[in-house]
Amino acid sequence: MEKQTQEELNKIKEKLDGLLEKWIGFNQYDANLLSKIKLVKWEKGSVVYSMNVDPELCNMFGTLHGGAQATLVDVLGSMAIFSLDPTPNTIVPSVSVEISVNYASSAPRDSTVYIHSNCYKQGKNLVFTETTIKNDKDEVVCKGSHTKFVLKSKM
């Protein structure tokens, strides 16, 4: 991937922060989870977020719930796609075609996880992302893949 200028990186960050704020503002299913993530690193087609594992995100065993992990794979895969076009206030509508998550380890309550998501292929209408969530011991908690159908008109 070609190196971006600082100006391009700033535009991507501004767009991602604005989208996340708007997403949380809808106050739907994923708003509580998304209000807890922080953008750590970004470039065109790739994002890294961190998140504290708060008790309300945990299962009865005190670890990050699998549904929360799947939601992160879904939403942050979309954020990686959105980062492909740094144009402010531009969202290309898309719908999930396939999503899968393989769970490998756990992330205990009050720990920090890091969510790495990147877009590795963009075709005519399909975009493919992969997401890895790691715990604060740098162990893989889960790996996910997400395929989206992308409409060509921009919102």
Separation of alpha carbons 131 and 99, rounded Å: 11
127/12 Cα distance (integer angstroms): 18
**Predicted confidence (pLDDT) at residue 18 exceeds the cutoff of 90:** no
pLDDT band at 151 (very low <50, low <70, confident <90, very high): confident
CATH number, domain 6-150: 3.10.129.10
- Rounded to 5°, the CA angle 61-54-26 comes to 120
Both tokens assigned to 112: 């920090």
> Per residue in 87-124, pLDDT tens?
777 777 889 999 999 999 999 999 999 999 999 999 99
- For the chain, domain boundaries: 6-150
- HSE toward the beta carbon, residue 142, CA cutoff 13 A: 24
Over residues 131-151, the mean pLDDT reads 96
For residue 153, the model assigns a pLDDT of 52
